[in-house]
Amino acid sequence: MVAAAVGGAALGSKVLFWLEDPYLTLLSLHDPAYLMGGRTIVGALVLGLIAVELMKGYIGLTQSTGDLYAIPLALGIAIGRVGCFLTGLTDNTYGVATALPWGVDFGDGVRRHPTQIYEIVFLLAMIPVLYWIVRVVARPAANKVGQRRKLQAGDGFKFFMVSYMMMHLLCDFIKPYPRVKCRSCATPP
């Protein structure tokens, strides 16, 4: 399972990065530094999940395994975002300009939303919730016949994936992504 998750995550982080700007990727097919340089956490999480589910189907495993990884993933991504914050402008994870008092100048004289810090705080706050979910799921079920537990195995991982993807999407709204231009739609000079 771990090998499938790592392999899927490595491939997914690259593929989604290449698909973010397909035109630039096509122009850079001869540039190994571009092709090997970029990656995205969303692609890693999605393709890592797909790879694990395919492997589980292949070996016939039906039990949920995601809860084991929810807390380590949250902590690992939070640590990774510290690196993104310290990198500054070069990894393009910073936010747009802001006048808020916690805006950070990454060296270009512009105070920006520290979107990396927003994600770190969110992920660290999520860890106790994930711990609670995993603990509730691990408790023995009630003795009443036919009573279904409100939380099931796998709910911790589902909560992590949905919550983190929503937070990541919200942060993307305050990032200065370049607008993709349609070459055929451009007006002639």
How far is C-alpha 111 from the chain's CA centre? 25
- Segment of 8-22, 92-106, 146-160 carrying the highest mean pLDDT: 92-106
Amino acid at 61: L
* pLDDT, mean over the chain: 84
**pLDDT confidence bin for 56, thresholds 50/70/90:** confident
pLDDT tens sequence across 6-40: 888 888 888 888 887 788 888 888 888 888 877 88
Note whether 9 and 45 are within 8 A (CB): yes
Please report the pLDDT score of residue 31 as a whole number: 85
**Global pTM?**
0.79
**Distance (Å, whole) CA 54 – CA 67:** 17
**pLDDT confidence bin for 188, thresholds 50/70/90:** very low
Place of tokens 């991504």: 77
